Each structure stands twice: as C-alpha cells, then as structure tokens.
Structure 1
Amino acid sequence: MYDWLIVGAGFAGSVLAERLANERGDRVLLVDRRPHIGGNAYDRYDDAGILIHQYGPHIFHTNSKAIFDYLSGFTAWRFYEHRVLGRVDGKLVPIPINLDTVNTLYGLSLTPEEFEGWLAARAEPVGEIRTSEDVVVSKVGRELYEKFFRGYTRKQWGVDPSELDKSVTARVPTRTNRDDRYFTDEFQFMPAQGYTRMFETMLRSPNIHVMLQTDYRDVKDVVPHRRTIYTGPIDEYFGFRFGKLPYRSLRFRHETLDQERYQPVGTVNYPMSEDYTRISEYKHLTGQVHPKTSITFEYPSAEGDPYYPIPRPENAELFKKYERLALATPDVWFVGRLATYRYYNMDQVVGQALATFRRISDALPAGADTRDVKAIGAAARA
C-alpha cells in the first residue's frame, strides 16, 4: 500500500515525491509515461558526448531565495545569465528590445533618454489593452511589433497576436538601457551536472518507487494507494468530458556540428524568417568544453505533446469546467502546468509544489488515519 500515487516525474511530481517521502516518511509511487524522469527539463548526453536538453533550452532563474535554497539541496550550480539575439533585417540584435537593439537596427546613436522619447513617438494609443497586439503596439509601435513580435507569435501560437490574451507578450519587457540579459532575476544558474542528475538526487529515497514508461491508467486500479497527486493534463484525467483543452506543441531537431561554436549566444530567435522559431546551442548554457557543438531547432506545432496552454478566453472557460470537477474530486491533488492549465516557469512550478506540500501537511498530519480523507483533501486544495 502506497500513501501516494504521483503521476508525472517532472518538477511538480518530483518535488512533492521528495517532500512527502523525506519530510513525512510517506511511501510514494511515482509514475511517468516517458522513459525518463525530469519531465521537459530532462537533459542527456548525445552521441557526441555533449549535454543537450531533449525538449529545448531550460534556463533556471528565480527571485525566490527559498526556492533556490530548496533546489540547492540536490545540485551544485553554474552561474549563467541567458542572452538571446534575434535575426531581424539580416542583423543579429538583442532580445528583449533594448537601446542597442534599436541603435544597431536603424544605425542610430540614441542615449537612454532619447530612446524613451523615440519609443513614445512610435507607440500607438490603445483604449483598453486586451490582446497581445495591444500590449506591444502601445509600448513600441507598429513597426517594431511587425519585426519582432507578429511573425514569431504567429509561428509559436498558430494565431495572430490580436487573437491572443495580453499575458503572452506582457511577459517580454522593453528596456531603455543596454541590459541584454534575457532575465533579470536575482538567482540565475544552471544545475552544474545537469537537470537529470538533480532529479536523480531528489528522488533518491527508499520511500520513493519510480515506474517509467507507465501509464497512470494502467496502474491506478491495480496498485493499492491512498491518495493521488496528478500533474498530467486535467482534461485527460476526466476523459475529455467537456472536450480537449487546446495546447501548442513543439518539434525538436537536434544536430551535432563539427565545429567548436555555432552562434554567439545560447539562443537566436527568428521572428521574420524560417519555419522554426529559434536555435539553441547548449555549450553556452552548460559551459562544457568540447571540440564539437550541438544545437536544437524548434518548430511549433498543433500536434504532439502538450507544452503551452493557449491563453484565449474560451479556453479559460473550458478549463474552469474541469477545475470545478477537480475541486469536487476527493483524495486527488492537481498540480503543475498541465493540471492547472497555466504557463509556469520552472521556479513557479517548484513553488506551487512546495505550497501544495505545506497545505497537505497542515490538513493531513503524518501518521493520521487516512481511510476517509474526503474532507481533508477538499480543505487542502482550498
């Protein structure tokens, strides 16, 4: 008899497995359909011996010391600040847009103060900001919107920015200084030996049993367990009762090149050309020294594994129907991106998992009689 059946061995499932096993002494069965732990953060050494990210670049960054300290219990770190360039009008320029982006693109020599005025003169007034297009044109105007945002967004999401919620492009800042870091968080590091090694350390407990290449539906009625933590797609859990929640997927093409370096930064975006959105080179991220280099091309797709919930009002309404079912389901906790139909960074998923663990522990003391936990489960999810 397991205390917990946890579905999904990514950040949400693995953090909860670790906490429940090591802090409470609970017995955990952790299952995943894939042949590896780590979810989309899984990394591996390719045939050339270069450490790559199987599902595209995962850059850890957070402003939470508590989250950073927690993960530091399972890995040493390599300091790394991610930088991204965009191929625009045949030039490589910094993304997010900053002072150097515009000066390089237009052959100008604006100061930060002049750049603010330059942007303000091009910004278009928008009465009510509702869409991703509204966000961008109200800040930087139509021309930069067309060069940097529209094409990339249409490739990434399969729809025009005017059809997407404002949250998509609101995540990308515009800077009036020369700061070319993609993120500005206080803690910006990469696991020194990779994400997979970090997950292996996290799950190294005699109270945790991991089953890979295992579908939850094949074991849920066979393996005795008291409670469930589910991190998969919430619509799938309920048999797509109200229809499928829309997601965007990705296809990856990994290549190894017989040269030491391919591009000047970890990621180069292609907002105006190509059918892929970006190329990433992992040696920038990992610091690995190797005579060859490995890169990954990313192709957005409507088909495949779910990666990004599509933020549109009708999708949010559909999710709410599933959320109401989830809240009424005893003994099951829904955690993570797919189970809550939200786009989270890695640190946010860790934070959500740690918060869920605290609620579980508050509502369900270790060693309590758990034969009837319907009321306890509802309280923990509230």
Structure 2
Amino acid sequence: MFDAIVVGAGLSGSTAARILAEAGYKVLVIERQKHVAGHCHDYKDNNGITVHTYGPHIFHTNNRKVWEFVCRFTEFYFYQHRVLSYVEGRFVPFPINRDTLVEIFGINIATYEVEEFLEKEVKKSKFNVPPRNFRDVVVSQVGERLYELFFKNYTKKQWGREPEELAPDVARRIPVRTNRDGRYFSDKYQGIPAEGYTKMVEKILNHPNIVLMLGIDYFEVRDLFKPKLTVYTGELDKFFDYVYGKLEYRSLKLELRTLEQEFYQPVSVVNYPNDYDWTRVTEYKHFLNEKSERTTICYEYPIEEGEPFYVVMTQDNLVKREKYLKEVEKLEKTGEFLFIGRLAEYKYYNMDQAIEAALEKITKYLTNSLRSD
C-alpha cells in the first residue's frame, strides 16, 4: 500500500516525505506527537501572539536550494535575530563584537583594533593546543575574561556538566565578531514564516501521495508495514533498542507567562549566563512584530529528563554514537532505510541543515533507484 514510511513529521521528515511524494511514491508519515513540525511547532496564544512551543526558532541559511524549497510553502517575515546577554547587572550585545568589548572593558576601540585586542586577551590565558574541549575552543578565541563572563556558567546550566567535559565541536556554533554587527546570524537568507512553522510544515505535507498519522508510536506499528523504504528521524539509540547503551539528550522546562504590559525586554531573546536558574528569556511578539497590549514571555530551564532537545557531546556519547552509526551504515546499504536529522544522526543540526540533509539523502536515494531499475 505504501512505498515509503517516514518516521517523524519534523523538518527532516516532512521534507523527505514531500520529495518522495513528488517522485510518485505513496508515503505514510507516522508522528508520535499529536502535531506536526517537531520542535519548530508553534501556535497563536490567547493574546494573538505566535508562541514557539519548544523555544525560539529563527530560520537562517546560506543555502539557496534550501531557501527556495521552504519558500514554496510560506512567505517569510523579514526578521534578523538580535540577542542581549545580562552580565554584571546590564544588557550587553551578544555574540561578542566591538560594542560588547566597549561595554565590558570600558574602552573606546575601533573595529580594526578588535582582532588585536582579542589576541592579547588570548595570550594572557591558559588553554590546550590543539583544543581538547569546549573551554579550550572558546578561550582560544576570546580569552579567559570573556569566557568566564559569557560562556562558563551558561554552559554549566545548559549542559549540566563542566565545559571541560564537552567536546570541542560544541563550541563551533559560537560566533565572535570583530565589527559592530549585532545580528546573531549573518546568513544571506533569514526570517520567520509569516504564518508560523506549523502552517509551513502542514503545507509541505499537503500532497495527494502523503498520508499522515499523528499520535502513533512507530515502534508499536512497524511490523504492520513492508515498505520499500523507511526514513527514520527519531532517536538513534531507540531504533536499535539501546543495544550500545542510552545516548544522552538534554531537555528543557519551558515556563510561559503573560504580562500586563506591551513589552518586557528590548529584544526577543536575553541570555542569563550567570544570574538566575534560567538560561534565557524569550519575548515572542518581537519575531513577527505582533501587536498586543499584553506580552508573552518564556523562561528556559535546562533539565536532564524529558523531550530530547539537544545531543550531549561528551566522549562517552560520541563513542556510543560511532557504534550506532556503524549499524546505520549496514541498514542504509540495503537500500531500505535512511536515517536523517538531529535525533537519528545524533548530531546538532540547524533547521536549514535538517532540511538540507533530507533533500540530499532523498535525492541521492531516488537517483540510485532509477539506476537500479
């Protein structure tokens, strides 16, 4: 009945399903949650404000193919993400740029002097070369003073462990600027879906060759189907019944509040690296410039157990990951399985990377299928 089963209706799963459907495949999408869009899911609250169910998501990419794909299913509201960090009792720009240095060090510095200033900070600091962990990477870029202020305690809260326990790769997503660019991302294409991520994914899945089942656990029904292809986007370790042990994921407790005021903070997201138990506060109305006399804010508290949000890149987890990926390689060689996405590859993906991975893997699969027919 179905040529392909896609497990998960997040960005990777919905993209895979759409490309397969457009190639003529009859596709069944099975989603454990009672909604589509995965961690990008959003909704309108009672204040008329679009709330991101699992915390803030900003779409940004330099990949033209990915941008053209998503633009088939939504218009984008022009939005460029700006973040402030609350340190030493004040809001300062983050990522670190020239203006951050002016605020923190009380100096008047030109943009062309920033690189040299940071080099001096680094020279005064101690770290391993080559870097062995998260701390080494950050200190090698900005020095110990800025590391202590912006990264050390935030990382402890975010990951529940010392920065020295985390792999160097965790720090690769952290931008540092030598100019006054206050945007969090510098990608060519940026924005928020004008009608929300949920509507966008619903449109991606709206195809006559796609059947969607919500609130169904794939592992309870998989023996009922014998498809040519299974695209799996769920947890990597769960698929193999934890044969090499559980992989660690970090989760979040999200606390929503409605305030009787128009705005709570000057930007959508403020990080709290040192003070308070939460890591950041999001004020959602900034994203789509929505008008309301009230405002909706969200406090984020990282926790150990719960919905898997982030892969935890410790040495132990990376060793387990390699063992699982060898099993994945065996299955994918049969031509009957593809593992795609953050959870299925135990890898941090931005949204555009999750879509890109699906586009590339499914296109390659279809090309190989044509050759073998």
Quick check: TM above 0.5?
yes
What is the CA-CA distance between 1:229 and the residue it aligns to? 0.7
What TM-score results when the alignment is normalised by the length of structure 1? 0.93
What is the CA-CA distance between 1:305 and the residue it aligns to? 1.3
Partner Cα separation in structure 2 for residue 164 and residue 152 of structure 1: 13
What is the CA-CA distance between 1:187 and the residue it aligns to? 0.4
What is the CA-CA distance between 1:125 and the residue it aligns to? 5.6
Root mean square deviation, CA, Å: 1.5
Superposition pairs for residues 60-209 of structure 1, below 5 Å?
Answer: 60-123=59-122, 124=125, 126=127, 127-209=129-211
What is the CA-CA distance between 1:115 and the residue it aligns to? 3.0
Partner of 1:38: 37
What percentage of residue pairs aligned between the two structures are identical? 44
What is the CA-CA distance between 1:337 and the residue it aligns to? 0.5
Instruction: Name the aligned partner's letter for residue 145 of structure 1.
Output: Y
Alignment gaps of 5+ in structure 1: 369-382
1:343 aligns with 2:345: no
Partner Cα separation in structure 2 for residue 348 and residue 249 of structure 1: 21
CA contact (8 A) 1:91 1:105 kept: no
Alignment deviations for residues 170-211 of structure 1 (CA, whole Å, 9 cap, x no partner): 321221211100000000111111101101111111211111
Instruction: Name the aligned partner's letter for residue 19 of structure 1.
Output: I
Deviates more, 1:315-324 or 1:145-154: 315-324
Aligned positions, number = 367
CA contact (8 A) 1:88 1:148 kept: yes
What is the CA-CA distance between 1:113 and the residue it aligns to? 3.2
What is the CA-CA distance between 1:135 and the residue it aligns to? 1.2
What is the CA-CA distance between 1:224 and the residue it aligns to? 4.7
Alignment deviations for residues 275-331 of structure 1 (CA, whole Å, 9 cap, x no partner): 110011111111212221111111111111111111122211111111111222241
Deviates more, 1:67-76 or 1:255-264: 255-264
Partner of 1:332: 337
Instruction: Name the aligned partner's letter for residue 254 of structure 2.
Output: F
1:48 aligns with 2:47: yes
What is the CA-CA distance between 1:93 and the residue it aligns to? 0.2
CA contact (8 A) 2:47 2:292 kept: no
Instruction: Name the aligned partner's letter for residue 349 of structure 1.
Output: A
Instruction: Find runs of 4+ consecutive structure 1 residues off by over 4 angstroms.
Output: none
1:215 aligns with 2:220: no
**Equivalent residue of 1:299, what SS?**
strand
Q: 1:17 to 1:366 in 2, by over 3 A?
A: farther
Partner of 1:250: 252
Partner Cα separation in structure 1 for residue 371 and residue 296 of structure 2: 47
Instruction: Name the aligned partner's letter for residue 363 of structure 1.
Output: N
Partner Cα separation in structure 1 for residue 126 and residue 148 of structure 2: 17
Partner of 2:21: 21
Counterpart selection for 2:313 from 311, 314, 325: 311
**Equivalent residue of 2:291, what SS?**
coil
Partner Cα separation in structure 2 for residue 367 and residue 200 of structure 1: 33
Deviates more, 1:343-352 or 1:122-131: 122-131
Alignment deviations for residues 86-128 of structure 1 (CA, whole Å, 9 cap, x no partner): 0000010001011111211232212223333332222126432
Alignment deviations for residues 58-86 of structure 1 (CA, whole Å, 9 cap, x no partner): 00000011110111100011111000000
Q: 1:51 to 1:367 in 2, by over 3 A?
A: farther
Partner Cα separation in structure 2 for residue 344 and residue 325 of structure 1: 21
Q: 1:366 to 1:53 in 2, by over 3 A?
A: farther
Superposition pairs for residues 233-382 of structure 1, below 5 Å?
Answer: 233-329=235-331, 330=334, 331-365=336-370
Partner of 1:12: 12
Instruction: Name the aligned partner's letter for residue 104 of structure 2.
Output: L
What TM-score results when the alignment is normalised by the length of structure 2? 0.95
CA contact (8 A) 2:29 2:211 kept: yes
What is the CA-CA distance between 1:52 and the residue it aligns to? 0.5
Partner Cα separation in structure 2 for residue 367 and residue 266 of structure 1: 51
Partner of 1:371: none
